[in-house]
Amino acid sequence: MKLLEKILVATDFERASEDALTMSLFLAREFQSEIILIHVISEMKDYPIVRNKIRKKVTEKLKQMEKDLRKKGFSAVETIVRFGIPFERIIEHSNELDVNLIIMGSGEGEKKFPLGTTAERVMVYADKPVLVVKPGAIPLIRMIFCPVDFSEASKRALINAIHLSRTCAAHLTVLTVFEPLLSSFFGPGRTPGESKEKDLVKRQQHQYDRFLRGFESDNLTWTKISRRGEPHEEILRAIRETQPDLLVMGSQGRTGFMRLLMGSTTERVVREMPCSVITLKQEHVIRFSLEKEVSDIETHFRKGKELFKKQLTEGAIAQFEYCIRRNPFFVPAWEEMAIVYKHMDQQKEAKRCKEMAEYIRRHLWENEEG
């Protein structure tokens, strides 16, 4: 079962796109992923002859890239050429092909806007996770950085950062930024007392620890840090200090306002392009897909146990839940879910699953045997 099945790589044949492709190859090797190359040509409705010549030339370039990749051992490669507005076509095909991840280069040479306009538009409007590769980035991921604010978006980001760290054998740094009490909140010329500030710090740290307990950190090298100050400033400062290869950030769902589409903190950090960055909005990069063509309960049960051995607890739960949806009385799945939840320190869920397994054995299986 592939956890990162499809990667859509947007290319314009410039240097930034080469960096994006190189990073794509690294991830494809790690996850055995399919690579899909897409090039979008700006619409030329009034020049059909020129349009056909350009399509032919671009198709030849992509086919040569495909041939080169196959020589390197990447057999699962596909190419797409389309006319239209680049960011719209990239998003359209990411949805049609149901890819796990869109990868593209950033705005190379744009000092005032290093992210690049097309990359930002894809990040803003795509539901799929998007990885923008910093120019000149080394195609290795050995240090991953993930800021969290305890929201669902940052929870999604951390789940994926953990799995990427495990697969790539990368060190993970998790950061949260606590905003200090503002003196304006207490009135002009007034500041919170030292005891109130200390109490706030203590409560915030407890919240941070409780948030992190919900994630599986076994077989993972990671560092937990916290800062106080303006979130985007502290995140950028910590990135400069740790120098990660990859930043993983959660972003907001769709709204009617451009600024809120990614979230103000994510937007401010990403626009600086301090390193290569993945933003996640509504979907995971790492998917625990329940393959539609496989309906056998025992197969899913076995996959659940395999995922649990690899410490992929969310995927294991998904497989056991599938078994139970197919057969609510399948006791082994209830028992395994109890074990997984206990391992995740979710005692309430573990107890519920264990009690259900015992109830089924006592009231259904024993009665049937009698």
Q: What is the pLDDT of residues 4-57, one digit of tens each?
A: 899 999 999 999 999 999 999 999 999 999 999 999 998 766 666 578 888 999
The answer to whether the beta carbons of residues 146 and 174 sit under 8 Å apart is yes
CA distance 135 to 131: 13
Q: Read off the pLDDT band of 63 (50, 70, 90).
A: very high
**Which of 294, 290, 288 is CA-nearest to residue 310?**
288
Verify that 85 and 16 share a domain, yes or no.
yes
Which of these, 122, 35, 41, lies nearest to 79 by C-alpha position?
35
| Average pLDDT across the chain, whole number | 84
Say if 259 falls within a structural domain: no
Q: Are residues 163 and 95 in the same domain?
A: no
CA distance linking residue 18 with residue 284, whole number of Å: 25
Residue 330 in domain: yes
Contact 262, 159 (CB under 8 A): no
State mean pLDDT over 327-356: 91
| 156 and 126 in a common domain | no
Q: What is the pLDDT of residue 52?
A: 84
Q: Is residue 74 part of a domain?
A: yes
pLDDT at 113: 65
- Domain count for the chain: 3
What CATH number does the domain containing 233 carry? Answer: 3.40.50.620
Residue 160 lies in a domain: yes
Residue 176 C-beta-side C-alpha neighbours within 13 Å: 20
Residues 123 and 236 reside in one and the same domain: no
Last residue of a domain, one of 178, 209, 242: 242
Q: How confident is the model at residue 247 (pLDDT cuts 50, 70, 90)?
A: very high
Q: Does 83 have pLDDT greater than 70?
A: yes
Residues 72, 184 within the same domain:
no
**Domain span at residue 45?**
6-133
Q: Is the same domain home to 101 and 17?
A: yes
Whether the CA torsion 320, 326, 332, 337 is positive or negative: it is positive
- Burial (CB < 10 A; 0-12, 13-18, 19+), residue 343, is middle
Shared domain for 129 and 13, answered yes or no, is yes
The conformation of residue 256, written as its DSSP 8-state character, comes to S
- Distance from C-alpha of 243 to C-alpha of 145, rounded to nearest angstrom: 9
Residue 273 lies inside a defined structural domain of this protein: no
What is the band of 258 on the pLDDT scale with cuts at 50, 70, 90? very low
pLDDT of 192 above 80: no
Q: Are residues 89 and 43 in the same domain?
A: yes
Q: Does residue 267 lie in a domain region?
A: no
Is the residue at 180 inside a domain? yes
Q: Domain of 318: which CATH number?
A: 1.25.40.10
Q: Tell the burial category of 235 from Cβ atoms under 10 Å away from its Cβ (0-12, 13-18, 19+).
A: buried
Q: Domain boundary residue among 69, 98, 133?
A: 133
**H helices, E strands: number in the chain:** 15, 10
Asked if 72 and 126 sit in the same domain, the reply is: yes
Residue 263 falls inside a structural domain? no
Residues 123 and 69 both lie in one domain: yes
Residue 97 sits in the same domain as residue 160: no
Residue where a domain stops, chosen among 75, 105, 133: 133
pTM as predicted: 0.74
